[in-house]
Amino acid sequence: MQHWRRGGAAAGGPQDVQISEHDMKIAAPTEMATVSFVLIRRAEMRSRLKGTRSKRLQRGLFDNEDDEQDFAFRVAIERVNNDQSILLKSRLVPRVERVEKDDCFRATKKVCTLLRDGIAGIFGPTSDVTSMHVQSICDALDVPHVEMRWDFQLQRDDLSINLFPKPSILAQAYVDLIKTWDWKSFALVYEDHEGE
């Protein structure tokens, strides 16, 4: 059983939340932990070349409705911390910041504050507009950026990665399913207007 410290002064104070091992296996993709490790190592290599000390603070920048990604982010960081072969003498400390969807100005201000505090990388947000701004800042300052959103442009810097499948791979998966199951028709249902 894992224990998380959740909430803060605005949420009525921190609370301990228990998470079963079963929930951790379902909610936290191994990919996020692996990507965390790879990007942190790349950032460490760059900081060593520049003669600076690498920070271990991981920040998640999520839209207000992204509770699932917040949870997966925390579990992935815990998995990296629990694997003694990854980070030998240090621990990652997850911190989560919330932003309003499509509020680029406040998201940019939060990123600048996070960078001033010192961080090892930023995860999120999922909103197209705010994510592009965050990625641009991270690219310019060589800060690892991980996002989990649909992005048909797929423009990435060396320290940026998107965990969402490439549109061409996703389209091929749909085609393969339709052919395999010999469907004559199908429909795709989207949660938002991005599917139009």
Q: pTM of the predicted model, to two decimals?
A: 0.60
CA 59/CA 43 separation, integer angstroms: 14
CA 138/CA 63 separation, integer angstroms: 18
Give the dihedral of Cα atoms 169, 175, 181, 187; nearest 10 deg: 100
Give the C-alpha distances (Å, rounded to integers) separating 186 from 85, 138, 182, 194, 195: 46, 40, 11, 19, 15
Q: How many other C-beta atoms lie within 10 A of the C-beta of residue 86?
A: 17
Q: For the segment 82-107, what is each residue's pLDDT rounded down to a tens digit?
A: 887 776 667 777 788 888 888 889 88
- Name residue 95's beta-bridge partners: 59
130 pLDDT higher than 70: yes
Lowest mean pLDDT among 46-50, 99-103, 118-122: 46-50
**What does the pLDDT read at residue 193?**
64
Stronger pLDDT, 5 or 169, i.e. the higher one? 169
**Which band of pLDDT confidence, cut at 50, 70 and 90, is reported for residue 22?**
very low
96: phi then psi, degrees, rounded to nearest 5: -115, 135
Q: What is the mean pLDDT of residues 23-44?
A: 52
CA 104/CA 110 separation, integer angstroms: 10
In order of their start, the domains of the chain are 2-166 (3.40.50.2300)
Helix (H) or strand (E) holding 26: helix 21-27
